[in-house]
Amino acid sequence: MTVANPAPSTAASAPRGLVFGGSGQIGERLLTRLLRRGWQVTAWSRPPRAACSGRVWRQGDLVYRQRR
C-alpha cells in the first residue's frame, strides 16, 4: 500500500481520511502512516480506542443490523 505525502498544511486544509477496522493490525498501521503525513483521520471499529491528535474514533459494526 502506498500513501502519498501531502504538502505540509494547517489542520483546516489537511487531507481527511476514514479508516474502517482502525483497531486491527492493518488499520492501526495505516492510521499511523496517515497521521505522520498530516492527515486528519476518523477511525471506525467495533472496539474504539482513545482519541489522539488528528484521530477521531467511532464505534460500530458494519455487518450487524439492529432489528426494530
pLDDT at residue 24 in the model: 85
Strands (E), the chain: 16-20, 40-45, 55-59
The alpha-helical segments, DSSP class H, found in the chain are 25-36
pTM, to two decimals: 0.61
Task: Please give the Cα distance from 22 to 47 (Å, whole number).
Answer: 9
- pLDDT tens figures, 14-68: 899 999 888 888 988 999 999 999 999 988 887 766 666 667 777 777 776 666 6
